[in-house]
Chains A and B, each alone.
Chain A
Amino acid sequence: MLAYLIRRLFAAAVMLVVIVMVVFGIFFLIPKWAGVDIALSFVGKQADPAAVEGVREKLGLGDPIYAQVWEFFKGIFAGRTYTGGGDSIHCAAPCFGYSFRSEQAVWPVLTDRFPVTLALALGAAVLWLIFGVSAGVLSALKRGSLWDRGAMVIALSGVSLPIYFTGMVALSIFVYGLDLFDGQFVPLDESFTGWFGGMILPWVTLAFLYAAMYARITRATMLEILGEDYIRTARAKGLKEHTVIGKHAMRSTMTPLLTMLGMDLGALIGGAILTETAFNLPGLGQAVLNAIKNQDLPIILGVTLITSLAVLVANLVVDILYAVIDPRVRLA
Chain B
Amino acid sequence: MTAPLHEPTAEAAPSAAEEASVATSGAKAVQGRSLGRIAWERLKRDKLALTGGVVVLVLVVVALLAPVITGLLGQDPNEYHENLIDPLFGTPTGSLGGLSGDHLLGVEPVNGRDIFARILYGARISLLVGFLSAVVAVILGTVLGILAGFFGGWVDSLISRVMDGLLAFPQLLFIIALVSVMPNDLLGLSGSSVRVFVMILVIGFFGWPYIGRVVRGQTLSLREREYVEAARSLGAGRLYILFKELLPNLVAPIVVYTTMMIPTNILTEAALSFLGVGVKPPTASWGQMLSSAIDYYESDPMYMVVPGVAIFITVLAFNLFGDGVRDALDPKASR
Contact = CB atoms under 8 A, between A and B. Distances in A.
Contacts of A176: 297-298
B308 interface: yes
Given A19-B169, A292-B277, A27 B181 contact: yes
Interface of A: 15, 18-19, 22-23, 26-27, 30-31, 34-36, 156-157, 159-162, 164-165, 168-169, 171-172, 176, 228-229, 263, 267, 270-271, 273-274, 277-278, 288-289, 292-293, 295, 300, 303-304, 307-308, 311-312, 315
B302 to A, nearest CB: 11
Nearest to A12: B168
Given A157-B316, A274-B271, A293 B276 contact: yes
B5 A168 contact: no
Given A36-B183, A160-B316, A168 B275 contact: no
A278 B305 CA distance: 15
Contact of A30 (B182, B271, B276, B316): B182
B180 to A, nearest CB: 5
Contacts of A273: 172-173, 176, 275
Given A15-B168, A26-B178, A27-B177, A34 B316 contact: no
A292 B177 contact: yes
B304 to A, nearest CB: 5
A273 B202 CA distance: 18
A286 B245 CA distance: 50
B183 A168 contact: no
Contacts of A35: 183
Contact of A168 (B180, B263, B304): B304
A270 B176 CA distance: 14
Interface centre among A26, A160, A164, by most B CB within 10 Å? Answer: A160
B301 interface: yes
Nearest to A274: B271
Nearest to A267: B170
A30 B181 contact: yes
A159 B319 contact: yes
B312 A161 contact: yes
Contact of B290 (A168, A271, A312): A168
A36 B185 CA distance: 12
B177 A156 contact: no
15 contacts: A26-B181, A30-B178, A34-B183, A34-B186, A156-B320, A160-B312, A162-B267, A162-B274, A164-B290, A168-B304, A169-B308, A176-B298, A229-B5, A292-B277, A315-B168
A162 B180 CA distance: 21
A51 B304 CA distance: 43
B102 to A, nearest CB: 27
A311 B166 CA distance: 11
Nearest to A288: B173
A165 B297 contact: no
Interface in B181-214: 181-183, 186
Contacts of A295: 180
Main secondary structure of the interface of A (DSSP, over half): helix
Task: Kindly state the interface size class of chain B when it binds its partner.
Answer: 35 or more
The 3 A-B residue pairs with the shortest CB-CB distance, nearest first, are A34-B183, A165-B308, A160-B316
A284 to B, nearest CB: 10
A162 B173 contact: no
Contact of A164 (B5, B274, B305, B319): B274
Contacts of B167: 263
B247 interface: no
Contacts of A159: 319
Given A30-B182, A271-B173, A292-B277, 7 more contacts: A30-B178, A161-B315, A162-B270, A162-B271, A228-B5, A292-B176, A304-B170
A271 B168 CA distance: 14
Contacts of B181: 26-27, 30-31
A182 to B, nearest CB: 15
Given A176-B298, A273-B173, A304-B173, A292 B316 contact: no
Interface centre among B178, B305, B308, by most A CB within 10 Å? Answer: B308
A224 to B, nearest CB: 8
A228 B323 CA distance: 23
B96 to A, nearest CB: 15
B203 to A, nearest CB: 15
Nearest to B313: A160
A75 B277 CA distance: 31
Contacts of B270: 162
A171 B311 contact: no
Contacts of A171: 297
Nearest to A143: B335
B312 A307 contact: no
A274 B267 CA distance: 12
